[in-house]
């Protein structure tokens, strides 16, 4: 069995891979590990997205939390970053979110946050996993008055929206905005926040039914958003993913403004205000080569980490950086929240848009994008970390790397949450890099079935 925790918690097909038993055990072990140092009856905040399996898994998770004597403070459907923020506001001892983020409805996941609102370090996750695999029976089973209980955080959405509004240094009055809520966790909070900041808001995909989360909508499918922005003559559009920790934007012409460009726009603005600590923006190995070029042109240091917003955050905390994120739209404004926050990211971007007086398309030109092709190879999940052990795959990667050595790059990355290997090639000739990426992905699928 491989490591239970991936790059963003425990994730799998709900009710087969992520079972009720596993959710219960994660509740028990997670609550114990995260609160064992407390001298009081601990409280753990629980949130979830809109997918149909959420209620089922919440019941099991809460039961596990209560079984070790902790109180489960249930917030219901809220964005992942709402939990990260509210842990501190409510003086909770930890938090947990039931969500599979951008994944299809059949998936779900469970991810923990510590008392300071940060995702867990690998060693803490390993401790939780070790208990589940080897020593669950050694955890306490309190009885009588010491059994934990479930409470409801009735003002969670309102408290989170108040926080979001407080991060803006101006109203958004006069901005015509379209937001795509992905039929997910942002469907209440996002409209409330942007209406509260006086933007003129058109909302799409904000009618979740448990089955339509991320379905042809949100940050992974922005076609509807592009059309709506052009159709309504909006100034800009924003798309969130299922748990609203990501944000991608669309300019007034319907063109994508990805995470790299959002980081560039907001990072340059922070530099101009003297607020870009250590004169650096943190990206990942997936960040476009144009991101580095933007840094050179604006005398900003670009720092790269492994893929995953948790690794971006670790680098930010270690070096004192204030902004970082991923091309996919995970953007962390550490002065405001401890994790990627899609609605917050949108607010900060719109504040720059209003302050600049420019069109979104003009701001987007602050960074040039090199052609980049990403192809997913479906593989056996147990083999995805061992792709370099296959000589044919290894040799083909070396050949392509040499071919694009002077004008691009090749990046191969096993997915942290799915049975996929992601093949990314960057270069000047889109036709050539597309052909090579598709050919390599096909070879990987054949060799790692």
Q: What angle do CA 440, 446, 449 make, to 5 degrees?
A: 125
**Contact yes or no for 338/327 (Cβ under 8 A):** no
Q: CA 144, CA 140: separation in Å to the nearest integer? A: 13
In order of 16, 67, 407, 421, the CA distances from 396 in angstroms are 36, 52, 18, 15
Q: CA 262, CA 259: separation in Å to the nearest integer? A: 5
In order of 212, 325, 367, 424, the CA distances from 362 in angstroms are 34, 22, 10, 28
Q: CA 180, CA 361: separation in Å to the nearest integer? A: 19
Which residues make beta-bridge pairs with 248? Answer: 239
Q: φ and ψ at 397, to 5 degrees?
A: -60, -45
Provide the 8-state DSSP code for 411: E
Number of H helices, E strands in the chain: 14, 18
Which position among 99, 101, 186, 219 bears the catalytic label?
Answer: 101
Strands 150-152, 71-77: parallel, antiparallel or unpaired by DSSP?
A: parallel
Give catalytic status of residue 101 as yes or no.
yes
Number of neighbouring beta carbons within 10 Å of residue 430:
12
Residue 128: its H or E element: helix 122-134
Q: CA 365, CA 95: separation in Å to the nearest integer? A: 39
Which residues make beta-bridge pairs with 107? Answer: 13
Q: φ and ψ at 15, to 5 degrees?
A: 85, -5
In order of 92, 162, 199, 341, 347, the CA distances from 195 in angstroms are 29, 12, 6, 18, 11
Active-site amino acid positions:
101
């Amino acid at each position: 069995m491989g490591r239970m925790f991936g790059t963003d918690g425990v994730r799998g097909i709900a009710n087969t891979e992520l079972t009720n038993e596993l959710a219960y055990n994660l509740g028990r072990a997670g609550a114990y590990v995260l609160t064992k140092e407390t001298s009081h009856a601990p409280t753990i905040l629980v949130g979830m997205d809109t997918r149909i399996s959420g209620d089922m898994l919440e019941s099991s998770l809460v039961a596990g939390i209560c079984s070790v004597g902790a109180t489960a403070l249930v917030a219901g459907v809220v964005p992942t970053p709402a939990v990260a923020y509210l842990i501190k506001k409510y003086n909770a001892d930890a938090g947990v979110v039931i969500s599979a983020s951008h994944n299809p409805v059949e998936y779900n996941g469970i991810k923990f946050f510590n008392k300071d609102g940060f995702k867990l370090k690998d060693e803490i996750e390993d401790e939780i996993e070790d208990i589940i695999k080897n020593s669950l029976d050694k955890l306490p089973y309190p009885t009588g008055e010491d059994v934990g209980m479930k409470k409801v955080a009735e003002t969670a959405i309102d408290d989170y929206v108040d926080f979001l509004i407080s991060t803006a240094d101006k109203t958004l009055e006069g901005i015509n905005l379209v937001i795509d809520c992905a039929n997910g966790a942002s469907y209440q909070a996002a409209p409330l926040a942007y209406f509260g900041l006086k933007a003129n808001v058109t909302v799409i995909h904000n009618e979740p039914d448990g089955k339509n989360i991320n379905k042809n909508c949100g940050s992974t499918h922005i076609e509807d958003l592009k059309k709506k922005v052009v159709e309504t003559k909006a100034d800009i559009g924003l798309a969130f993913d299922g748990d609203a920790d990501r944000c991608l934007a669309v300019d007034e012409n319907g063109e994508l403004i990805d995470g790299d460009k959002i980081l560039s726009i907001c990072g340059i603005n922070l530099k101009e205000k003297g607020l870009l600590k250590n004169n650096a923006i943190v990206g990942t190995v997936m960040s476009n080569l144009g991101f580095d070029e933007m840094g050179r042109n604006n005398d900003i240091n670009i720092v790269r980490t492994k893929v995953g917003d948790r690794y971006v955050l670790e680098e930010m905390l270690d070096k004192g950086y204030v902004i970082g994120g991923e091309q996919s739209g995970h953007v962390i404004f550490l002065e405001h929240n401890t994790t990627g926050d899609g609605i917050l990211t949108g607010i900060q971007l719109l504040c720059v848009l209003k302050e600049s007086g420019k069109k979104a398309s003009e701001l987007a030109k602050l960074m040039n994008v090199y052609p980049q092709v990403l192809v997913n190879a479906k593989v056996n999940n147990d083999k995805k970390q061992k792709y370099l052990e296959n000589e044919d795959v290894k040799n083909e990667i070396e050949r392509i790397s040499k071919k694009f050595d002077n004008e691009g790059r090749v990046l191969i990355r096993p997915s942290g949450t799915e049975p996929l290997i992601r093949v990314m090639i960057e270069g000047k000739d889109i036709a050539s890099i597309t052909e090579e990426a598709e050919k390599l992905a096909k070879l990987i699928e054949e060799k790692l079935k």
